[in-house]
Copies of this chain bind each other. A is one copy, B any other.
Amino acid sequence: MGKYEELFQYIERNRSRYVDWAMRLISVPSVSTYGTGLDECADLVAEMMEDVGVRAEKFSNPEGGGPIVVGTHNAEAHATLMFYNHYDVQPAEPLEKWTTPPFAPAVRGGLLYGRGAADNKGNIAARLAAVDALNNVLGEIPVNLKFFVEGGEEVGSPGLEKFAQTHRDKLFADGCVWEYGYRNKSGAPVVYFGLKGMLYVEVEASGPGKEVHSSWGAAVENPAWRLIHALSTIRRPDGRVAVEGFYDDVVYEGEELLAQVDIEDFSPPHKLLKAAQQNPLKNLLLEPTVNINGIISGYVGPGSKTIIPPSASAKLDFRLVPKQKPEKIFQSFVDHLKKNGFDDLNVKMLQAYPAARTNPSNFMPKLVTETAKEAYGIDPVAIPSGAASGPMYVVTDVLGIPCVSTGCGYYGSSVHGPDENIRINDFVANIKHIALIMLNFHRYMHLG
């Protein structure tokens, strides 16, 4: 009988109960973009914390996003482990692309479907399940716990930094496990030591303000043309960002860790990676970039309609790496438009936060990767920085806590897309992993 056999068996026996916890959370349509269901979901998170013996406090967030829920379990230990999560989710549109409704969680063929299954409600459930399992098997948790759960991550975590600054004592911890992680196609859990930063902007070209017959296009400026010409100047066809100064502060570190990563393990599949992308893995994990999330102008219904559009707008996200300052990049972007003759465009900053990374030699990376092997039975893949973004800098830079990310998703989780899902076996393995992190935290911390 293995070292953790009793614990693992308990978790296995309770898998359907823990899946129900995830489903309860998914059932609340807490879409921060629309501001719906946030209070309700915060209350549910607090209630579920209390149910496993974690004391929950709810703080309203005057800057937007849902209330922040802080959970505390005081084990009178000399080590405190934090979990960062968020209970808000991305909008579920397009709804017609879902096999079953996004907020009616459903289990099919060993998969749990629903908006938030992977990002991030499955992870909240898994972490509370680990607390439950340790309490029931050991009768205690051998480490102090802090749950730091927000409701505005998908809209740029408004107020999170300020909350951290004004609640330093309450948020004291020695190490933090970030919100998410995925298993790759080889079955290895992927562990992230960092995340990219984010600058999300909306650019609008104003036009005639109402639809004008398109025969006037020969003489009247068309806002869609204006926007297209402006956007075409900010990124080269090869993917390189053409905004002056964009790469000035970029420092390349951690490239040696990429050797153990196989691009084919990721989703979306390899075929999407165009030949033009010389080094997709480096681009994905270490390079900053700019992406178009959406663009809209004029008539987009069936067939033909001949108009000059009233206006045109696009949403862009810049993914930033450490040392790039989002406010400085935003200013470079505005200056770039001006220099290229597009100062008539209206630019709005919707999200802005820097990247974050924890040094691989810190105890947290060691703790999380070494326990992963025991929980999953396979070596994890360690990545210096994920491709995605999140306000990890609030933990690493504002609170000064080393931080590593791991979670219950997999390469097919369709995060932010239709039919978001997790594999229940991964969910169970992740509960085991989180329990082992709690069990071993104190020892690793003091090993250094």
Residues of chain A touching chain B, judged by Cβ–Cβ distance below 8 Å, are 33-34, 90-91, 93-94, 97, 154-156, 196, 198, 200, 208, 210-222, 224-225, 228-229, 231-232, 235, 237, 239, 263, 268, 272-274, 276-277, 280-281, 283-284, 287-309, 312-315, 317, 319, 341, 350-351, 386-389, 414-418
Chain B residues with CB under 8 Å of A292's CB are: 222, 224-225, 228, 297-298, 309
Chain B residues with CB under 8 Å of A317's CB are: 214, 217, 304, 306
**Residue from the set A214, A221, A388 with the largest chain B CB neighbour count within 10 Å:** A214
Give the residue of B33, B214, B277, B296 whose beta carbon is less than 8 angstroms from that of A296.
B296
Q: Report the bound CA distance from A216 to B351 in whole Å.
A: 18
B272 touches A319 (CB 8 A): no
Q: Report the bound CA distance from A219 to B270 in whole Å.
A: 10
Chain B residues with CB under 8 Å of A208's CB are: 268, 272
B237 touches A229 (CB 8 A): yes
Q: Report the bound CA distance from A214 to B418 in whole Å.
A: 14
Shortest A313–chain B CB gap in Å is 8
13 other contacts beyond A212-B272, A225-B291, A295-B295, with CB at 8 A cut-off?
A91-B301, A210-B418, A215-B389, A216-B284, A218-B239, A218-B288, A224-B292, A228-B228, A229-B232, A292-B297, A298-B315, A306-B389, A307-B416
Chain B residues with CB under 8 Å of A200's CB are: 304, 306
Shortest A198–chain B CB gap in Å is 8
Chain B residues with CB under 8 Å of A284's CB are: 215-216, 218-219
**Residue from the set A216, A274, A309, A314 with the largest chain B CB neighbour count within 10 Å:** A216
A304 touches B232 (CB 8 A): no
B294 touches A295 (CB 8 A): no
Give the residue of B33, B231, B232, B319 whose beta carbon is less than 8 angstroms from that of A215.
B319
Copies of this chain held together in the complex: 2
Listed by A's residue number, 28 A-B pairs whose Cβ atoms lie within 8 Å are A90-B306, A91-B301, A154-B305, A156-B304, A211-B416, A212-B268, A212-B272, A213-B417, A214-B293, A218-B288, A219-B277, A219-B281, A219-B284, A219-B387, A220-B272, A220-B277, A221-B274, A222-B291, A228-B295, A291-B308, A292-B297, A293-B306, A293-B308, A294-B309, A295-B296, A299-B315, A300-B313, A306-B389
B220 touches A33 (CB 8 A): no
Q: Report the bound CA distance from A214 to B387 in whole Å.
A: 9
Q: Report the bound CA distance from A211 to B307 in whole Å.
A: 29
Chain B residues with CB under 8 Å of A93's CB are: 299, 301
Chain B residues with CB under 8 Å of A417's CB are: 210-213, 307
Shortest A414–chain B CB gap in Å is 8
B301 touches A415 (CB 8 A): no
Chain B residues with CB under 8 Å of A274's CB are: 220-221
Shortest A118–chain B CB gap in Å is 10
From A350, which residue of chain B is reached at the shortest CB distance? B304
Chain B residues with CB under 8 Å of A291's CB are: 214, 217-218, 222, 225, 306, 308
From A226, which residue of chain B is reached at the shortest CB distance? B237
Q: Report the bound CA distance from A280 to B219 in whole Å.
A: 5
Chain B residues with CB under 8 Å of A215's CB are: 196, 284, 319, 386-389
**Residue from the set A91, A293, A296, A305 with the largest chain B CB neighbour count within 10 Å:** A293
Q: Report the bound CA distance from A411 to B74 in whole Å.
A: 76
Chain B residues with CB under 8 Å of A301's CB are: 33, 91, 93
Give the residue of B276, B277, B302 whose beta carbon is less than 8 angstroms from that of A33.
B302
From A387, which residue of chain B is reached at the shortest CB distance? B215
Q: Report the bound CA distance from A196 to B235 in whole Å.
A: 36
Chain B residues with CB under 8 Å of A213's CB are: 388, 415-417
